[in-house]
Each structure stands twice: as C-alpha cells, then as structure tokens.
Amino acid sequence: MIETKIREQTCDAIRTLYRHELKPDSIGLEKTKKEIPGDYTIVVFALSKISRKLPEATATEIGNFLQHKMPEIATFNVIKGFLNLVLNDHFWIKFLSKQSVQPAFGFHKPRHERPVVLEYSSPNTNKPLHLGHIRNNLLGFSLAEILKANGHKVVKANLVNDRGIHICKSMLAYMKWGQHETPASTGIKGDHLIGKYYVLFNTNYKSEIHDLIIKGLTEEEAERQAPLIVEAQEILRRWEAKDPVTVDLWRTMNGWAYEGFDVTYQRLGVDFDKIYHESETYLLGKKLVMEGLHNGILVQKDDGSIWADLRSEGLDEKLLLRSDGTSVYMTQDLGTAQLRYDDYLPSNMIYVVGNEQNYHFDVLKKVLVKLGKNYAAHINHLSYGMVELPQGKMKSREGTVVDADDLLDEMIQTAEETTRELGKANELTTEEAGKLFNTIGLGALKYFILKVDPKKNMLFDPKESIDFNGNTGPFIQYTYARIQSLLARASAAGFWWEDAQISLNLSLLPLEKETIKRLYQFQEVVIQAGDELSPAVIANYVYELAKGFNQIYQELPVLKESDGEKVLLRICLSGFTGSVIKKSMKLLGIEVPDRM
C-alpha cells in the first residue's frame, strides 16, 4: 500500500539527510485535510528535532527527497510542520484499472492461526426475540463477516439460555393456566406462546407481592416469600434433580421456543456454526466450582453456598452455587468458557452482550484467572448499548417489548408503502416486488442499527430508517441499483467496465479523484472495522462512497461524454464503486437489489 511506501521512503530520507535511523511505524502519517491540497500528510514536528532545523525547512527537505525518489508524488506543499503530498493522477488511475477487476479486493488471505469464537444472540427460551436481540444478532453476524474478511477463521456460536429460574417461571405459569394449549392449537408462534406465560407469571407475581406488602412484609421479604416464586424455585430444584415430569415439560416448551427462534433467524439472515445450551454447560461449571473449592480458591459459607472473594481486586463476593446446590448464570458461563476452549483452542473468545452485563464479564474473567485458566486473557466482551424506541425503554416481563417478528413485518410493510409512493416498483412483477420490499425493509433495519457505534445507546425509529435520501440503507441500495442500470446501458452501447482499457494519461477531475481515493480506502476500512469490532466503520464508509458517486452521477456525464477515454474511465469507476458497495453491504449482512 502507498502508505507503507511513504513511511519507508521517509525513513530513508531521515537516514540519508540526517544520518538517523527510524522505524516506519514511527512516522506520523495521516490523510490530508479536505481544505488543504494533498492526499497524505507527514507530521514533521518530531522529525525537526532530528534534523535540528525548523519544521518548515525539515518538511521541505524531506518533500524534495520523496518527490525525487517516488514517481507517485506529483508535488507537495508545506504548512508549518505538516508536509502535504499530492499523488499524481497516473497512480490513482493505475490503481482503478488494476484493482477494479480483483474479486478479492479489500479482503485478506486466510490466516494460519487458531479460530475466533464469536458468541451472539444468546436468547432465553422463556420469551421471543425482541428489538434488543435484533441489535445483538445483527452486530454478531456482521462482526463475523468482517473478521472473516480480515482473514480470521470464525466460529459463530450461540449460547441458548434454556434453564434457570426465568424458564421455570414460564413453565409454572403454563402448568397453572395453560390448559394444554400448543402453538398448533392456538396458531401462535412457539416463542410468542411461551412469552405470553412469562408475562402472565410476572403479572400475578407482582399482585402477590402487593398483597404481602399490605400484610406488613417489606418489599424484599414479599419478593422472596411470594408463593409463585417459591413454586418456581421448587421447579428449578426438581429440574436439576432430573424429575421426569418436569424435564418432559421443559423439553416440550423449549422445543416450541427453538422452532420460533429458527424462523426469526432465517428472516434476519443470521446463522450459527455451533449452538451451546446452558443445560449442557452448567454441570461443567459446577465441576469447576467444586474443584476451586477443593483447592482452597473458593469459599463455602455456613449455609452451604459457594462464593468467589474478589474484594482484594476491587470487586465484591460473587455467588457461584446457591445453598441448595443450584447454579447461577456465572456457573454456566464458567462451564461454557471451558467447553469452548476445549472444543476450539480459540485465539480469542468474543461475547456480544449488552453493556448491562459489563460487571458480569469482569467477574467472569477474574474468577477464571483465580481458577488458573490462562484463556481468561483471551476473553473479549463486546459491550453494546441498549436500543430504545421513541416511546421509551422496553421491559420483557411487562410485555412492553417490540417483538422481532412484529418489527420485521412493520419494516417490510413500511418499505412497500414508501416504495410504491415513489413509483419504484411499477415495472416489477408481484413476486419481484415482494422480494424487493423484503430486501429494502431488512436493509433499512440492519443499516440503521449497524451505522451506530456499538458502544452507544440508540433510538430506533422505523419510519426514519426507510428513507431513500440521507444516511440510510435504502439510499445506498438505490445507489447500487442506479449503478447497475447505468452499467446495463453502457453494455448495450458497447462499453464493458470489466474489460475497460483505461488510459493512464488522463487527468482526473476532483470528483473522480475523490471517489477513487475513497475506493482505495476500502482495504483500510475493513482492517479498522475488524480492529475496532465495529460494523459502524463499514456502514458510514459505504454511505460516503454512495454519496460521492451520486454527486458524480448528477454532475458529470457518463455515456453522454464525448471523449471515449473518459467514458471508459467513468464506466470503470461506476462498476468498481458498485462492487465495493455490494461488498460493504454484504459485510453488514445486507442485500443490494439490481433494480429499484
């Protein structure tokens, strides 16, 4: 890449001019600011200490050296301690001509290293997937694609939370009020049916708490002594004791949830390489806890419960096994981490989990370190912000969440209404139009969520996300379709961008050069997105690329250009832009239609 060459040649300049050795990565190199002529800027202030000359004089000497040594440099200018290099048009056109036809442009060869295990989704089988899960799934799937584009082998893992007190709450509510109804008998999707009973449990539980408080109990006492929670805890004990009746109901209701999840996953376009179940990992976690107790690493209290004392590390004591022997979430996470390490010997284990679990993962790593697990150093929690709606925060137990399926339906319906209003589906068959509405609706949803830095909380507005103007998925999809239409017309006129022999002696207009530079940056953007674990880097890059192309489309003639060599240049530029848009959107899990 040209940045590497500039750094290396700058080191050569320092060696030749000032008899001093520097490493290339010590050279301060950045993209030149838009308001200043130039492509790359070398920050010279630190180098002037080596030259023992003023920054301006140092920059001028280095600039002359580089211009003499590097044919890519057309000219340079110096502003205080900043050396601004201008690359010649020949360099940019040669890049366009060579890389536009490379299918793997921007992607890196597979690395010979251990895999990355990337966990995302992690649903509870007591409720359907909701908007928060959508952000989780889209982040996880996109990150997997980005890491693969950086040459990593990725294992996409899903840990299903299929056991524990929350699942027992839904089971108890079904036992009391279910009347043997099933998804088949009600026509309700399995995960939605179970979610109905989770809400029902909590509604009645809150009523019991209220009654006990009236009778004189504190809120904490009422929450602990309410009959429903006592019964739910008993169901959990029976499940861990493998009571046949309890386990049979658990299997049945979880089966309904899995069928429902699979439908939603398919609609979202996400998948997994490995699915773990907490019901299969908690026993390994309990084994690790008992080993830690035996080795004197963990402590057992008078009631029989087992704890990790993390007070010397700035935290507190953490419960790992309850007094009745039942496990907590931390127990199964210990077991899951060990199981993944045993399965894959991963170079990294990335957990895509919301920021409300920051403390949990801090504790998980510290407990694993106490237990002597060296792989704890390779656990990385991608902590993402919450998704809220204009009307406020969602709560599963109160039934105020936005179900993923309902949101997907709304997005596709809104896409249809908007597309028909703009007349963009008039020439399509019913089948083609239906596929287009689905592509636009899902693209709008995915892009709106992924363009936000994962660490930030976000406000999701479905109607705002489906707009054919501005920083939205449909705008980028429409740009891609516009390019495909242009290329089809060019082909009919005898111009094929894949075979274009572009003259290297052309002079580029500012808009052309700016778009070629942005295409050049794609390979850097892919690396940056992988390093930062942020699909937002890709999303905002592809928006700027699409916006720049639309400016070319509106201001510069393509097929109507009288100079045939410029026609070939702009056709090739259009084709390459379309190719990079498609790659970028694929990294986000978004399809782009050929027609809109």
Residue-wise pLDDT tens digits, 494-549: 887 777 788 888 999 999 999 999 999 999 999 999 999 999 999 999 999 999 99
Q: 394 falls in which pLDDT band (50, 70, 90)?
A: very low
Task: Kindly state whether residue 564 falls inside one of the protein's structural domains.
Answer: yes
Give the end of a domain, one of 356, 373, 398.
398
79 and 201 part of one domain: no
pLDDT of residue 470 exceeding 90:
no
pLDDT band for position 398 (cuts 50, 70, 90): very low
Residues 129/403, Cβ–Cβ less than 8 Å: yes
Q: Compute the distance between CA of residue 500 and CA of residue 504 in angstroms, rounded to an integer.
A: 12
Question: Residue 325 is part of which domain span?
Answer: 120-398
The pLDDT value recorded for residue 399 is: 45
Tell me the average pLDDT across 32-54: 94
pLDDT of residue 461 exceeding 70, the answer is: yes
The pTM of this model reads 0.91
> DSSP for 305-335?
-EEEE-GGGTS-EEEEE-TTS-B-HHHHHHH
From 370, 398, 426, give the residue that closes a domain. Answer: 398
Give the model confidence (pLDDT) of 189-226 as tens digits.
999 999 999 999 999 999 999 999 999 999 999 999 99
Checking if the pLDDT of 396 tops 60, the result is: no
pLDDT at 392 over 60: no
Kindly report which listed range (391-395, 421-425, 463-467) carries the lowest average pLDDT score.
Answer: 391-395
| 188 and 46 in a common domain | no
Residues 528 and 410 in one domain: yes
Angle of CA points 559, 560, 564, to nearest 5°: 70
Residue 105 in domain = no
What interhelical angle do 244-268 and 227-240 show, nearest 10? 90
Long-range contacts: 531-537, Cβ < 8 Å, 24+?
533/143, 533/350, 533/380, 533/382, 533/454, 534/453, 534/454, 535/138, 535/139, 535/142, 535/143, 535/146, 535/450, 535/454, 535/587, 535/588, 536/450, 536/451, 536/452, 536/453, 536/454
Residue 303, Cβ neighbours under 10 Å: how many? 8
Give the model's pLDDT for residue 441: 94
Domain match, 393 and 279 both = yes
Residues 343 and 434 occupy one common structural domain: no
**Residue 457's CATH number:** 1.10.730.10
151 with 31, same domain: the answer is no
Average pLDDT over residues 448-474: 88
- Asked whether 191 and 261 are in contact (CB, 8 A), the reply is yes
Q: Is the pLDDT of residue 426 over 60?
A: yes
Judge if 381 and 414 occupy the same domain: no
Comparing 68-72, 325-329, 434-438, 497-501, which segment has the lowest mean pLDDT?
497-501
Structural domain count, the chain: 3
In a domain, 306, yes or no: yes
Q: Are residues 471 and 446 in the same domain?
A: yes
CA distance 23 to 230: 67
Quick check: is 93 in a domain?
Answer: no
Question: How confident is the model over 480-486, as a mean pLDDT?
Answer: 95
| Both structure tokens of 245 | 């009746």
Indicate whether 413 and 381 sit together in one domain.
no
pLDDT mean over 269-284: 94
Of 363, 398, 433, the residue that ends a domain is: 398
Residues 473 and 382 both lie in one domain? no
Q: CB under 8 Å, gap of 24 or more: what pairs does 9-17 form? A: 9/65, 9/66, 9/69, 9/70, 10/42, 10/62, 10/66, 12/65, 12/69, 13/61, 13/62, 13/65, 13/66, 13/69, 14/47, 14/50, 14/62, 16/65, 17/51, 17/61, 17/62, 17/65
**76-80, 235-239, 397-401: the lowest-pLDDT one:** 397-401
- The span from the CA of 237 to the CA of 406, in Å, is 35
Read off the pLDDT of residues 167-182 as tens digits, 9 standing for 90 and up.
999 999 999 999 999 9
